[in-house]
Amino acid sequence: MKIAIIGHSGSGKSTLARFLGQHYHCEVFHLDQLHFSSNWQERSDHDMIADLSTCLLKQDWIIEGNYANCLYEERMREADHIIYVNFSRFHCLYRAFKRYLNYRGKTRPDMADNCQEKFDVAFVKWILLDGRSRNPLEKYQAVIQKYPHKTIVLTNQKQLNHYMNTIN
């Protein structure tokens, strides 16, 4: 089974990916782990694409994250299921802040080594404004239109909980 999880920062993509990975006994790939190396150092697109290409060759995978410049269309095409987590910007901000409180001074399991959780003005701006700009939203809509038969859109916690309960 191949599942692509896309959506806004703070929407719960990583948490959902871990849940699905445990449920389906499937390897999970977090694109943030491929994008960053230790201490928030960004890796080159070339290196990220090389690693992601290897992931895509596997028989089963769950890949969570957006990164439109890194085999986005290939991931959507190859996925058996696409889950778009489309929570409101304020719900995402709340979740991101809650995550920060939980992991403050620590590195999340879905991040590269020594990438301590942070919650700064730039990240808040990304959650509330920049990550909701026209380009990302158009990409999400294009996925829904191109792959309606395999795309699930979750817009709130109740829908996410229902989805998780129905596969359990």
Give residue-wise pLDDT tens across range 64-96: 999 988 999 999 999 999 999 999 999 999 999
d(CA 47, CA 45): 6
In the chain, where the domains are located: 2-167
| pLDDT score for 168 | 75
Residues of the chain with pLDDT under 50: none
Fold of 2-167: Rossmann fold (3.40.50)
Helices (H), the chain: 13-24, 31-35, 45-56, 72-78, 89-103, 121-128, 134-146, 157-167
| pLDDT score for 68 | 87
